[in-house]
Amino acid sequence: MDQDISSGLVVEGVSLGYGRTPIIRDLTLPALRRGTLTALIGPNGAGKSTLLRGLAGLGNLTGSVRLDGEELHRLPRAERAMLLGFMPQSLPPPISLSVLESVVGSLRAGTGASSHSRAGDPVRRAYATLADIGIAELANRELSALSGGQRQLASLAQAVARRPAVLMLDEPTSALDLRHQTVVMREVARLTREHGLVTIVVMHDIALAARHADQIAVLRGGALRAFGIPREAITARLLADVYDIDARVETCSRGSLQIIVDHAL
């Protein structure tokens, strides 16, 4: 990927909340480069979903959010929608649509003349996305007849199929079994690198985040408490400060970061 100095997502002086209640106050993140995956972690109520929704254009965000140097709020709505892909924390409603149809619908909704995602037949692309995340066998099943985890995978397929420039996933693995958690994170990381996306994934599993993310952003009380590569950002002290837990951060025999929680403080 071309990586000039302004390539990526810059979040600067961002504030947002609900009504008059501020949740995120004057938040600035280090630049999120294209082709990198950022895990956004933090305790319940930290403001992760609020921030992601705000970046996705849902909410009363003030401040500056620039993609490759371009202020997102200045772009026409349709153009912005094409650049941003968002998977909310809540599962999609169990409607009478097949999984494949729902992904095709998302492809058609989010494409425009200038979009690279227009390339190819939408049905083929939708099917390829399902195959990539390992749920091709669900293609013709109705969303209303799926398990919670299967519905979450379908929702993920809807968000990633378009390959938006900025991919924002709010707890995409929370309902998944161990294998699907790994497959999904591996696939999201691959798409991010291959297509030069800026990907932000909210998650609670810090070990899973450490394995797949290029950097970790830690939020508490609507403020950034740490940011960096997993091995440097995640420390026992940080876990005590941010999560109020006494925990050990260890490296397993194969070199992965492991978190062992001893007790709540």
Ligand X SMILES: Nc1ncnc2c1ncn2[C@@H]1O[C@H](COP(=O)(O)OP(=O)(O)OP(=O)(O)O)[C@@H](O)[C@H]1O
**Nearest approach, Cβ of 218 to ligand X (angstroms)?**
11
* 13 φ/ψ sector (left φ>0, alpha ψ -120 to 50, else beta): left
Can you say how many angstroms the Cα of residue 228 is from the centroid of all Cα atoms in its chain? 17
Q: Which of ligand X, Mg ion, none has residue 148 at its interface (CB below 5 to 8 Å by kind)?
A: none
- 235 CB-near residues (< 8 Å, 6+ apart): 249
* Cα dihedral: 189, 194, 196, 198 (round 10): -10
Residue 104 touches which of Mg ion, ligand X, none (CB < 5 to 8 A by kind)?
Answer: none
Crossing angle of helices 99-109 and 148-161, rounded to 10°: 30
* CA torsion angle 222 227 230 231 (round to 10): -120
CA distance 225 to 222: 9
Contacted by 47, from ligand X, Mg ion, none: CB < 5 to 8 Å by type:
ligand X
With CB under 5 A as the contact rule, which of the stretches 72-80, 84-92, 121-129, 140-148 interacts with Mg ion? 84-92
User: With respect to ligand X, which residue has the nearer C-beta, 18 or 258?
Assistant: 18
- Report what 46 binds from ligand X, Mg ion, none; CB cut-off 5-8 Å by kind: ligand X
Q: Which of residues 18-77 bind Mg ion (CB under 5 A)?
A: 48-49
User: At its nearest, how many Å lie between ligand X and the CB of residue 180?
Assistant: 20
Instruction: Pick between residue 49 and residue 117 the one whose CB is nearest to Mg ion.
Output: 49
Q: Which two three-digit tokens encode residue 200?
A: 């932000």
Binding residues for ligand X, rule: CB under 6 A, are 18, 23, 42, 44-50, 89
> Residue 122 binds which one of Mg ion, ligand X, none, with CB within 5 to 8 A depending on kind?
none
**Residue of 39, 17, 20 whose CA lies nearest to 170:** 39
Stretch that binds Mg ion, among 66-74, 75-83, 85-93, 243-251 (CB under 5 A): 85-93
Rule CB under 5 A: which residues touch Mg ion? Answer: 48-49, 89
